[in-house]
Structure 1
Amino acid sequence: MEKIRCIILDDEPIGREILQNFTEKIPFLEVCNTFESPLDVITYLQENEIDLLITDINMPHLNGVELVQSLQKPPFIIFVTAHRDFALDGFDSGAVDYLVKPVRFERFLKAVNKVSLYKKDTQKDKTLDTKTNIFLKVNGKFEKIILDTILYIEANGDYLKIVTEKQNYTILSTMKSFEESLDSSNFLRVQRSFIININSIQSFSGNTVQLNNGKTISISIQKKEELFKILGV
Protein backbone atom coordinates (compact mmCIF):
# COMPACT_ATOMS: atom_id res chain seq x y z
CA MET A 1 0.00 0.00 0.00
CA GLU A 2 1.27 3.47 -0.91
CA LYS A 3 2.12 5.49 2.19
CA ILE A 4 0.05 8.47 3.24
CA ARG A 5 2.35 11.40 4.02
CA CYS A 6 1.00 13.34 6.98
CA ILE A 7 1.82 16.11 9.44
CA ILE A 8 0.49 16.65 12.96
CA LEU A 9 -0.52 19.99 14.49
CA ASP A 10 -1.35 20.47 18.17
CA ASP A 11 -0.25 23.29 20.45
CA GLU A 12 -0.03 20.84 23.38
CA PRO A 13 3.03 18.53 23.51
CA ILE A 14 1.05 15.63 25.00
CA GLY A 15 -1.46 15.88 22.15
CA ARG A 16 1.29 15.68 19.52
CA GLU A 17 2.92 12.76 21.35
CA ILE A 18 -0.30 10.71 21.49
CA LEU A 19 -1.05 11.25 17.79
CA GLN A 20 2.50 10.42 16.76
CA ASN A 21 2.39 7.22 18.80
CA PHE A 22 -0.82 6.27 17.01
CA THR A 23 0.64 6.94 13.55
CA GLU A 24 3.73 4.84 14.28
CA LYS A 25 1.47 1.81 14.75
CA ILE A 26 0.00 2.18 11.25
CA PRO A 27 2.34 0.93 8.48
CA PHE A 28 0.83 3.01 5.67
CA LEU A 29 1.23 6.33 7.54
CA GLU A 30 4.42 8.37 7.25
CA VAL A 31 4.77 11.32 9.63
CA CYS A 32 6.77 14.01 7.83
CA ASN A 33 6.72 16.58 10.64
CA THR A 34 4.90 17.77 13.78
CA PHE A 35 4.01 21.36 14.68
CA GLU A 36 2.70 23.40 17.60
CA SER A 37 1.95 26.54 15.55
CA PRO A 38 -0.54 26.85 12.65
CA LEU A 39 1.66 29.52 11.06
CA ASP A 40 4.54 27.05 10.85
CA VAL A 41 2.21 24.63 9.06
CA ILE A 42 1.33 27.27 6.46
CA THR A 43 5.03 27.88 5.77
CA TYR A 44 5.73 24.13 5.56
CA LEU A 45 2.88 23.50 3.10
CA GLN A 46 4.18 26.21 0.78
CA GLU A 47 7.29 24.12 0.18
CA ASN A 48 6.13 20.53 0.79
CA GLU A 49 3.35 18.27 -0.46
CA ILE A 50 1.53 16.05 2.00
CA ASP A 51 -1.59 13.90 1.83
CA LEU A 52 -3.02 14.42 5.30
CA LEU A 53 -3.09 17.09 8.00
CA ILE A 54 -4.09 15.87 11.48
CA THR A 55 -4.83 18.99 13.46
CA ASP A 56 -6.26 20.24 16.72
CA ILE A 57 -8.95 22.92 16.39
CA ASN A 58 -8.80 24.97 19.57
CA MET A 59 -5.48 26.85 19.37
CA PRO A 60 -4.47 30.45 20.11
CA HIS A 61 -4.15 33.10 17.38
CA LEU A 62 -5.39 30.81 14.55
CA ASN A 63 -7.59 27.78 15.14
CA GLY A 64 -7.57 24.62 13.03
CA VAL A 65 -10.70 25.48 11.04
CA GLU A 66 -9.36 28.94 10.19
CA LEU A 67 -6.05 27.37 9.17
CA VAL A 68 -7.71 24.95 6.74
CA GLN A 69 -9.89 27.71 5.30
CA SER A 70 -6.76 29.77 4.60
CA LEU A 71 -5.16 27.05 2.45
CA GLN A 72 -5.64 27.25 -1.33
CA LYS A 73 -5.15 23.51 -1.84
CA PRO A 74 -5.67 21.82 1.52
CA PRO A 75 -4.73 18.13 1.92
CA PHE A 76 -7.10 15.63 3.50
CA ILE A 77 -8.00 16.82 7.00
CA ILE A 78 -8.67 15.01 10.27
CA PHE A 79 -9.66 17.33 13.11
CA VAL A 80 -8.90 16.39 16.73
CA THR A 81 -10.32 18.43 19.63
CA ALA A 82 -11.76 18.24 23.10
CA HIS A 83 -14.78 20.32 22.08
CA ARG A 84 -17.69 18.55 20.40
CA ASP A 85 -19.22 21.93 19.55
CA PHE A 86 -16.59 22.37 16.83
CA ALA A 87 -17.76 19.28 14.90
CA LEU A 88 -20.10 21.10 12.51
CA ASP A 89 -17.46 23.72 11.66
CA GLY A 90 -14.96 20.93 11.10
CA PHE A 91 -17.08 19.06 8.58
CA ASP A 92 -18.11 22.31 6.87
CA SER A 93 -14.40 22.84 6.20
CA GLY A 94 -14.21 19.61 4.24
CA ALA A 95 -12.69 17.38 6.92
CA VAL A 96 -12.61 13.65 6.29
CA ASP A 97 -13.27 12.95 9.96
CA TYR A 98 -13.56 14.58 13.38
CA LEU A 99 -12.12 12.96 16.52
CA VAL A 100 -12.98 13.98 20.09
CA LYS A 101 -10.31 13.79 22.81
CA PRO A 102 -9.38 11.54 24.44
CA VAL A 103 -8.94 9.75 21.12
CA ARG A 104 -9.00 5.94 21.12
CA PHE A 105 -6.61 4.20 18.73
CA GLU A 106 -9.43 2.18 17.15
CA ARG A 107 -11.28 5.41 16.29
CA PHE A 108 -8.09 7.00 14.94
CA LEU A 109 -7.45 3.95 12.73
CA LYS A 110 -10.97 4.17 11.33
CA ALA A 111 -10.37 7.81 10.38
CA VAL A 112 -7.09 7.20 8.56
CA ASN A 113 -8.54 4.17 6.77
CA LYS A 114 -11.19 6.53 5.45
CA VAL A 115 -8.44 8.86 4.18
CA SER A 116 -6.77 5.90 2.45
CA LEU A 117 -9.99 5.08 0.58
CA TYR A 118 -10.50 8.73 -0.40
CA LYS A 119 -6.94 8.92 -1.71
CA LYS A 120 -7.43 5.80 -3.86
CA ASP A 121 -10.65 7.24 -5.29
CA THR A 122 -8.89 10.52 -6.10
CA GLN A 123 -6.05 8.74 -7.90
CA LYS A 124 -8.56 6.63 -9.82
CA ASP A 125 -10.44 9.76 -10.94
CA LYS A 126 -7.19 11.35 -12.14
CA THR A 127 -6.39 8.25 -14.19
CA LEU A 128 -9.83 8.24 -15.78
CA ASP A 129 -9.55 11.95 -16.56
CA THR A 130 -6.28 11.51 -18.41
CA LYS A 131 -7.14 11.80 -22.09
CA THR A 132 -5.09 9.49 -24.34
CA ASN A 133 -7.00 9.61 -27.62
CA ILE A 134 -9.35 11.72 -29.67
CA PHE A 135 -11.96 10.90 -32.34
CA LEU A 136 -11.80 12.75 -35.67
CA LYS A 137 -14.63 12.78 -38.22
CA VAL A 138 -12.95 11.75 -41.47
CA ASN A 139 -14.90 10.90 -44.67
CA GLY A 140 -18.16 10.46 -42.80
CA LYS A 141 -16.84 8.24 -40.02
CA PHE A 142 -15.04 8.76 -36.73
CA GLU A 143 -11.40 7.68 -36.53
CA LYS A 144 -9.69 7.15 -33.17
CA ILE A 145 -6.31 8.92 -33.02
CA ILE A 146 -3.81 8.31 -30.21
CA LEU A 147 -2.77 11.76 -28.99
CA ASP A 148 0.88 10.78 -28.54
CA THR A 149 1.11 9.94 -32.27
CA ILE A 150 0.14 13.47 -33.37
CA LEU A 151 3.19 15.49 -34.46
CA TYR A 152 1.48 18.78 -35.26
CA ILE A 153 -1.76 20.44 -36.33
CA GLU A 154 -1.81 23.05 -39.11
CA ALA A 155 -4.63 25.49 -39.87
CA ASN A 156 -5.63 25.94 -43.51
CA GLY A 157 -8.69 28.17 -43.91
CA ASP A 158 -11.74 26.37 -42.50
CA TYR A 159 -9.82 23.10 -42.32
CA LEU A 160 -7.13 21.58 -40.13
CA LYS A 161 -4.38 19.22 -41.20
CA ILE A 162 -3.60 16.66 -38.50
CA VAL A 163 -0.17 15.12 -39.05
CA THR A 164 0.54 11.90 -37.15
CA GLU A 165 3.45 9.47 -37.18
CA LYS A 166 1.73 7.24 -39.76
CA GLN A 167 -0.69 9.36 -41.79
CA ASN A 168 -2.35 12.75 -42.22
CA TYR A 169 -5.98 13.75 -41.73
CA THR A 170 -7.96 16.77 -42.95
CA ILE A 171 -10.94 17.83 -40.89
CA LEU A 172 -13.39 20.72 -40.85
CA SER A 173 -12.69 22.59 -37.59
CA THR A 174 -11.37 25.80 -36.11
CA MET A 175 -7.98 25.90 -34.43
CA LYS A 176 -9.50 27.15 -31.17
CA SER A 177 -12.08 24.39 -30.80
CA PHE A 178 -9.56 21.69 -31.66
CA GLU A 179 -7.03 23.12 -29.21
CA GLU A 180 -9.64 22.95 -26.44
CA SER A 181 -10.50 19.34 -27.29
CA LEU A 182 -6.88 18.20 -26.97
CA ASP A 183 -6.92 18.55 -23.18
CA SER A 184 -3.24 17.65 -22.92
CA SER A 185 -0.20 19.41 -21.48
CA ASN A 186 1.91 17.91 -24.28
CA PHE A 187 0.54 20.27 -26.93
CA LEU A 188 1.36 23.95 -27.40
CA ARG A 189 0.07 26.45 -29.95
CA VAL A 190 3.36 28.03 -31.04
CA GLN A 191 1.80 30.44 -33.52
CA ARG A 192 -1.56 31.26 -35.08
CA SER A 193 -1.49 28.39 -37.58
CA PHE A 194 0.37 25.62 -35.71
CA ILE A 195 -0.05 23.44 -32.64
CA ILE A 196 2.84 21.08 -31.97
CA ASN A 197 3.34 18.03 -29.80
CA ILE A 198 6.16 18.98 -27.43
CA ASN A 199 7.37 15.38 -27.40
CA SER A 200 7.84 15.43 -31.19
CA ILE A 201 10.50 18.18 -31.09
CA GLN A 202 13.84 16.93 -32.41
CA SER A 203 15.78 20.21 -32.18
CA PHE A 204 15.30 23.97 -32.05
CA SER A 205 17.28 27.01 -33.08
CA GLY A 206 16.41 30.70 -32.90
CA ASN A 207 12.67 31.01 -33.53
CA THR A 208 12.16 27.60 -35.15
CA VAL A 209 11.72 24.01 -34.04
CA GLN A 210 12.36 20.86 -36.06
CA LEU A 211 10.07 17.89 -35.45
CA ASN A 212 10.84 14.17 -35.67
CA ASN A 213 9.56 13.99 -39.25
CA GLY A 214 11.87 16.82 -40.38
CA LYS A 215 9.14 19.48 -40.44
CA THR A 216 10.41 22.95 -39.44
CA ILE A 217 7.96 25.32 -37.75
CA SER A 218 8.48 28.90 -36.65
CA ILE A 219 7.55 30.04 -33.14
CA SER A 220 5.96 33.38 -32.30
CA ILE A 221 7.94 35.66 -29.99
CA GLN A 222 5.17 35.46 -27.37
CA LYS A 223 5.29 31.64 -27.30
CA LYS A 224 9.07 31.22 -27.43
CA GLU A 225 9.61 31.87 -23.71
CA GLU A 226 6.75 29.55 -22.74
CA LEU A 227 8.15 26.76 -24.91
CA PHE A 228 11.65 27.15 -23.49
CA LYS A 229 10.26 26.98 -19.97
CA ILE A 230 8.44 23.73 -20.80
CA LEU A 231 11.62 22.29 -22.33
CA GLY A 232 13.66 23.38 -19.31
CA VAL A 233 16.14 25.56 -21.22
Structure 2
Amino acid sequence: MDALDPSALRELHHKGHPIVLLQQSAPLGLAIPSVSIENKAGARKLVDHLIEAHGRRRVVFLRGPEGNEDSDWREGGYRESLTQHGLAVEDELIATGDYDRFVAMEAVRKLIAQQVQFDAIFAADDESALGALQALKEAGLDVPSQVSLVGFDDQRITPFLTPPLTTVHAPTDRVGVIAAECILKLINKEPVDLVNLLPTEIVVRNSCGCIG
Protein backbone atom coordinates (compact mmCIF):
# COMPACT_ATOMS: atom_id res chain seq x y z
CA MET A 1 0.00 0.00 0.00
CA ASP A 2 1.29 3.48 -0.87
CA ALA A 3 2.05 5.93 1.92
CA LEU A 4 -0.68 8.44 2.69
CA ASP A 5 -0.03 12.05 1.77
CA PRO A 6 0.97 14.11 4.86
CA SER A 7 -1.74 16.71 4.18
CA ALA A 8 -4.41 14.00 4.06
CA LEU A 9 -3.09 12.53 7.31
CA ARG A 10 -3.20 15.93 9.00
CA GLU A 11 -6.80 16.48 7.91
CA LEU A 12 -7.94 13.06 9.15
CA HIS A 13 -6.01 13.47 12.40
CA HIS A 14 -7.41 16.92 13.12
CA LYS A 15 -10.93 15.61 12.51
CA GLY A 16 -10.37 13.08 15.28
CA HIS A 17 -10.38 9.92 13.18
CA PRO A 18 -8.49 6.99 14.78
CA ILE A 19 -5.42 6.37 12.62
CA VAL A 20 -2.59 3.86 12.86
CA LEU A 21 0.16 3.87 10.24
CA LEU A 22 1.65 0.64 8.92
CA GLN A 23 5.28 0.66 7.76
CA GLN A 24 5.17 4.45 7.64
CA SER A 25 6.40 7.08 10.08
CA ALA A 26 4.07 9.85 11.16
CA PRO A 27 4.78 13.32 9.72
CA LEU A 28 6.58 15.69 12.08
CA GLY A 29 4.25 17.27 14.59
CA LEU A 30 1.52 14.63 14.34
CA ALA A 31 1.02 12.24 17.26
CA ILE A 32 -0.14 9.32 15.13
CA PRO A 33 0.79 5.77 16.20
CA SER A 34 2.81 3.69 13.76
CA VAL A 35 3.62 -0.01 13.58
CA SER A 36 6.67 -1.15 11.67
CA ILE A 37 9.54 -3.62 11.71
CA GLU A 38 13.22 -3.13 12.49
CA ASN A 39 14.30 -2.68 8.88
CA LYS A 40 17.58 -0.94 9.58
CA ALA A 41 18.75 -3.30 12.33
CA GLY A 42 17.85 -6.37 10.27
CA ALA A 43 19.67 -5.08 7.21
CA ARG A 44 22.74 -4.13 9.22
CA LYS A 45 22.96 -7.57 10.82
CA LEU A 46 22.61 -9.23 7.43
CA VAL A 47 25.43 -7.22 5.86
CA ASP A 48 27.52 -7.72 9.02
CA HIS A 49 27.10 -11.46 8.45
CA LEU A 50 28.27 -11.24 4.84
CA ILE A 51 31.36 -9.30 5.86
CA GLU A 52 32.27 -11.08 9.09
CA ALA A 53 31.29 -14.68 8.35
CA HIS A 54 32.10 -14.80 4.64
CA GLY A 55 34.70 -12.11 4.08
CA ARG A 56 32.65 -10.26 1.47
CA ARG A 57 33.91 -6.78 0.67
CA ARG A 58 32.02 -5.60 -2.41
CA VAL A 59 28.35 -5.93 -1.59
CA VAL A 60 25.73 -4.78 -4.09
CA PHE A 61 22.52 -3.33 -2.67
CA LEU A 62 19.36 -3.66 -4.77
CA ARG A 63 17.12 -0.95 -3.36
CA GLY A 64 13.33 -0.85 -3.51
CA PRO A 65 11.03 1.73 -5.12
CA GLU A 66 11.90 5.41 -4.87
CA GLY A 67 10.53 6.91 -1.67
CA ASN A 68 9.69 3.56 -0.07
CA GLU A 69 10.38 3.95 3.65
CA ASP A 70 11.19 0.27 4.26
CA SER A 71 13.77 0.32 1.48
CA ASP A 72 15.29 3.56 2.77
CA TRP A 73 15.76 2.06 6.24
CA ARG A 74 17.27 -1.11 4.77
CA GLU A 75 19.68 0.94 2.71
CA GLY A 76 20.59 2.81 5.88
CA GLY A 77 21.49 -0.48 7.56
CA TYR A 78 23.56 -1.50 4.53
CA ARG A 79 25.47 1.77 4.56
CA GLU A 80 26.00 1.67 8.31
CA SER A 81 27.42 -1.85 8.23
CA LEU A 82 29.87 -1.01 5.45
CA THR A 83 31.03 2.12 7.24
CA GLN A 84 31.49 0.33 10.57
CA HIS A 85 33.70 -2.23 8.83
CA GLY A 86 35.82 0.41 7.13
CA LEU A 87 34.38 -0.26 3.67
CA ALA A 88 33.46 2.51 1.26
CA VAL A 89 29.86 2.97 0.13
CA GLU A 90 30.24 2.99 -3.65
CA ASP A 91 27.56 4.34 -5.98
CA GLU A 92 28.31 1.69 -8.60
CA LEU A 93 27.32 -1.00 -6.08
CA ILE A 94 23.85 0.44 -5.47
CA ALA A 95 21.18 -0.37 -8.05
CA THR A 96 17.39 -0.44 -8.19
CA GLY A 97 15.57 -3.74 -7.81
CA ASP A 98 12.22 -2.01 -7.24
CA TYR A 99 10.86 -5.00 -5.24
CA ASP A 100 10.39 -6.67 -8.64
CA ARG A 101 12.19 -9.80 -9.83
CA PHE A 102 12.35 -8.67 -13.46
CA VAL A 103 13.67 -5.20 -12.63
CA ALA A 104 16.24 -6.77 -10.30
CA MET A 105 17.24 -9.30 -12.94
CA GLU A 106 17.94 -6.53 -15.44
CA ALA A 107 19.84 -4.52 -12.83
CA VAL A 108 22.18 -7.42 -12.10
CA ARG A 109 22.59 -8.19 -15.80
CA LYS A 110 23.66 -4.57 -16.29
CA LEU A 111 26.19 -4.76 -13.45
CA ILE A 112 27.69 -7.88 -14.98
CA ALA A 113 27.75 -6.38 -18.49
CA GLN A 114 29.52 -3.29 -17.14
CA GLN A 115 32.05 -5.57 -15.45
CA VAL A 116 31.35 -4.13 -12.01
CA GLN A 117 33.25 -6.25 -9.50
CA PHE A 118 31.16 -7.62 -6.62
CA ASP A 119 31.17 -10.68 -4.38
CA ALA A 120 27.75 -10.38 -2.72
CA ILE A 121 24.26 -9.03 -3.38
CA PHE A 122 21.86 -7.80 -0.73
CA ALA A 123 18.42 -7.53 -2.28
CA ALA A 124 16.02 -5.25 -0.39
CA ASP A 125 13.34 -7.93 -0.65
CA ASP A 126 13.12 -11.60 -1.55
CA GLU A 127 11.35 -10.89 -4.84
CA SER A 128 14.38 -8.91 -6.01
CA ALA A 129 16.65 -11.70 -4.78
CA LEU A 130 14.83 -14.13 -7.10
CA GLY A 131 15.62 -11.92 -10.08
CA ALA A 132 19.23 -11.50 -8.99
CA LEU A 133 19.60 -15.27 -8.65
CA GLN A 134 18.36 -15.81 -12.19
CA ALA A 135 20.76 -13.22 -13.61
CA LEU A 136 23.71 -14.74 -11.76
CA LYS A 137 22.85 -18.22 -13.01
CA GLU A 138 22.56 -16.95 -16.58
CA ALA A 139 26.05 -15.44 -16.28
CA GLY A 140 27.49 -18.69 -14.97
CA LEU A 141 28.23 -17.22 -11.54
CA ASP A 142 27.80 -19.73 -8.75
CA VAL A 143 25.83 -18.83 -5.64
CA PRO A 144 27.33 -18.83 -3.06
CA SER A 145 30.91 -19.81 -3.94
CA GLN A 146 31.42 -16.83 -6.26
CA VAL A 147 28.65 -14.48 -5.15
CA SER A 148 26.74 -14.53 -1.87
CA LEU A 149 23.07 -13.61 -2.18
CA VAL A 150 20.70 -12.50 0.58
CA GLY A 151 17.20 -11.04 0.69
CA PHE A 152 14.67 -9.61 3.12
CA ASP A 153 11.14 -10.66 4.23
CA ASP A 154 11.51 -14.48 4.42
CA GLN A 155 8.84 -15.31 1.85
CA ARG A 156 7.50 -18.86 1.90
CA ILE A 157 9.38 -19.85 -1.24
CA THR A 158 12.83 -18.92 0.09
CA PRO A 159 13.69 -22.27 1.77
CA PHE A 160 12.94 -24.09 -1.49
CA LEU A 161 15.18 -22.09 -3.82
CA THR A 162 18.46 -23.50 -5.12
CA PRO A 163 20.33 -22.61 -3.03
CA PRO A 164 17.94 -21.84 -0.16
CA LEU A 165 17.93 -18.08 0.44
CA THR A 166 19.44 -16.43 3.49
CA THR A 167 17.11 -13.59 4.40
CA VAL A 168 15.59 -11.56 7.23
CA HIS A 169 12.36 -12.71 8.80
CA ALA A 170 9.92 -9.81 9.09
CA PRO A 171 6.94 -10.44 11.41
CA THR A 172 4.44 -8.87 9.01
CA ASP A 173 1.55 -10.85 10.48
CA ARG A 174 2.23 -9.27 13.87
CA VAL A 175 2.21 -5.80 12.33
CA GLY A 176 -1.48 -6.17 11.50
CA VAL A 177 -2.31 -7.57 14.93
CA ILE A 178 -0.55 -4.76 16.79
CA ALA A 179 -2.16 -2.17 14.50
CA ALA A 180 -5.63 -3.56 15.24
CA GLU A 181 -4.91 -3.43 18.97
CA CYS A 182 -3.81 0.19 18.64
CA ILE A 183 -6.98 1.13 16.74
CA LEU A 184 -9.16 -0.40 19.46
CA LYS A 185 -7.25 1.53 22.13
CA LEU A 186 -7.72 4.77 20.21
CA ILE A 187 -11.45 4.13 19.84
CA ASN A 188 -11.69 3.42 23.57
CA LYS A 189 -9.64 6.54 24.41
CA GLU A 190 -6.86 4.44 25.95
CA PRO A 191 -3.15 5.39 25.81
CA VAL A 192 -1.22 4.07 22.81
CA ASP A 193 2.52 3.86 22.12
CA LEU A 194 3.31 6.17 19.22
CA VAL A 195 6.15 3.99 17.91
CA ASN A 196 5.72 0.22 17.75
CA LEU A 197 8.84 -1.36 16.26
CA LEU A 198 8.82 -5.15 15.89
CA PRO A 199 12.14 -7.03 15.91
CA THR A 200 13.50 -8.85 12.87
CA GLU A 201 15.88 -11.80 12.77
CA ILE A 202 18.29 -13.27 10.24
CA VAL A 203 17.34 -16.64 8.79
CA VAL A 204 20.63 -18.22 7.71
CA ARG A 205 20.44 -20.69 4.84
CA ASN A 206 22.89 -21.61 2.07
CA SER A 207 22.85 -18.69 -0.39
CA CYS A 208 25.21 -16.60 1.74
CA GLY A 209 27.78 -19.38 1.94
CA CYS A 210 26.74 -21.06 5.17
CA ILE A 211 26.30 -24.82 5.12
CA GLY A 212 23.25 -26.15 6.89
Q: TM-score, normalised by structure 2?
A: 0.38
Higher helix share: 2
